[in-house]
A and B are shown apart, each in its own frame.
Chain A
Amino acid sequence: MNNNLYNYILGIADNSLILGQRLGELCGHGPSLETDIACTNISLDLFGQVRSYFQYAAQIANDGRSEDTIAMLRTERQYVNVLLVEQPNVDFAYTITRQFLFDVYHYKFLVQLQKSNDATLAAIAKKSIKEVSYHLRFSSDWIKRLGDGTEDSHNRIQNAVNDLWAYTDELFHQTPADKTMIAEGIGVDTLKFKDNYFKEATEVLIEATLVVPDLEYFQKGGKEGVHTEHLGYLLAEMQYMQRTYPNMKW
Chain B
Amino acid sequence: MAAEQPHIDKRLTAVLGTVSDPEIPVLSIMEMGVIRSAIINEAGVVMVRITPTYSGCPAMDVMGEDIIKALNEAGYKAEVNLVLSPAWTTDWITEKGRKALEDYGIAAPLDEVADKAVLLGNQKLVKCTLCGSTNTKLISQFGSTACKALFQCEDCREPFDYFKCLK
Interface, chain A (partner B; CB < 8 A)? 34-35, 37-38, 41-42, 44-49, 51-52, 119-120, 122-124, 126-128, 130-131, 134, 137-138, 141
- Report, nearest first, the 4 A-B pairs whose CB atoms are least far apart: A48-B56, A48-B55, A123-B85, A34-B140
The answer to whether A45 touches B146, judged by C-beta atoms less than 8 angstroms apart, is yes
B11 at the interface (CB under 8 A from A): no
The answer to whether B84 touches A130, judged by C-beta atoms less than 8 angstroms apart, is no
Interface of B is mostly: loop
B49 at the interface (CB under 8 A from A): no
Q: How far is the CA of A37 from the CA of B166 in the complex (A)?
A: 19
Residues of A within 8 A of B89 (CB): 130
The answer to whether B56 touches A45, judged by C-beta atoms less than 8 angstroms apart, is yes
Residues of B within 8 A of A120 (CB): 84
B143 at the interface (CB under 8 A from A): yes
> Can you list 15 A-B pairs with a CB-CB distance of less than 8 A?
A37-B140, A37-B142, A38-B140, A44-B58, A45-B146, A46-B56, A51-B56, A52-B84, A119-B85, A124-B84, A126-B87, A130-B89, A130-B166, A130-B167, A141-B141
Q: How far is the CA of A153 from the CA of B85 in the complex (A)?
A: 42
B54 contacts which of A35, A48, A124 (Cβ < 8 Å)? A48
A44 contacts which of B87, B140, B146 (Cβ < 8 Å)? B146
Closest A residue to B60 using CB positions: A48
The answer to whether A48 touches B87, judged by C-beta atoms less than 8 angstroms apart, is no
Q: How far is the CA of A203 from the CA of B101 in the complex (A)?
A: 39
Residues of B within 8 A of A122 (CB): 85
Q: How far is the CA of A205 from the CA of B85 in the complex (A)?
A: 36
Chain B, interface residues (CB within 8 Å), range: 20 to 34
Task: With A34-B150, A134-B164 as known contacts, state yes or no: A42 contacts B142, CB within 8 Å.
Answer: yes
A38 contacts which of B54, B55, B85, B142 (Cβ < 8 Å)? B142
B57 at the interface (CB under 8 A from A): yes
Q: Which of B14-69 contact A (CB under 8 A)?
A: 52, 54-58
Q: How far is the CA of A52 from the CA of B54 in the complex (A)?
A: 12
Closest B residue to A53 using CB positions: B55
Residues of A within 8 A of B54 (CB): 44-45, 48, 131
Task: With A49-B56, A52-B55 as known contacts, state yes or no: A34 contacts B139, CB within 8 Å.
Answer: yes
Residues of A within 8 A of B113 (CB): none
A137 contacts which of B120, B143, B146 (Cβ < 8 Å)? B120
The answer to whether A138 touches B142, judged by C-beta atoms less than 8 angstroms apart, is yes
B119 at the interface (CB under 8 A from A): yes
A127 contacts which of B87, B139, B140, B164 (Cβ < 8 Å)? B87
B86 at the interface (CB under 8 A from A): yes
Q: Which of B87-143 contact A (CB under 8 A)?
A: 87-89, 119-120, 139-143
Residues of B within 8 A of A119 (CB): 85
* Chain A CB within 10 A, most for which of B52, B55, B146: B55
Task: With A127-B84, A137-B120 as known contacts, state yes or no: A37 contacts B56, CB within 8 Å.
Answer: no
Apart from A49-B55, A130-B89, A131-B146, 5 more pairs, CB < 8 Å: A44-B146, A47-B56, A51-B56, A120-B84, A126-B86
The answer to whether B141 touches A131, judged by C-beta atoms less than 8 angstroms apart, is no
Q: How far is the CA of A141 from the CA of B138 in the complex (A)?
A: 13
Residues of A within 8 A of B144 (CB): 37
Q: How far is the CA of A172 from the CA of B142 in the complex (A)?
A: 30
